[in-house]
Amino acid sequence: MTKEEIFKAMNELALQHASSGDELEDLKDSDWFESQAFYLIVDYCKSMNYQVGRFPDSIANDDSTEISEKHLMLYADKLTLTNSDVAELHWHWVSSFWPDQFKDKEEFLDSTATRISGGFYDI
């Protein structure tokens, strides 16, 4: 998918996310919308052959290592700080699904850097 196609798909998922209710089943749906949009970013990064060290290739070829969502979040976060196209996609995801979480893209990028350097990822 192109970035523009991903933006469009995220917008559609964000609309569905915003219209979900507060019941348990609705929350499960909400999580699904969030995950689907996030995996669009991960798939884009993989399609661009973006690596962080040797990740994801090194783990994908190692049957003994399970790739967790935290691995993928760290992958996306690191690429967000080094690739402007990934930063655009990641910012669009966050600002579409949680519009009040950050005042602007700069605050989001600062938070991303802090997550990486502050030990948020224990992997």
- CA-nearest of 7, 36, 3 to 95 is 7
61 pLDDT above the threshold of 60: no
Alpha helices in the chain (DSSP H): 3-18, 24-47, 57-60, 69-82, 84-97, 105-117
User: Which pTM was predicted?
Assistant: 0.86
89 pLDDT above the threshold of 70: yes
Least-confidence region, from 27-31, 93-97, 111-115: 27-31
Cβ–Cβ < 8 Å for 68, 62 = no
Give the integer Cα–Cα distance in Å for 65 and 106: 34
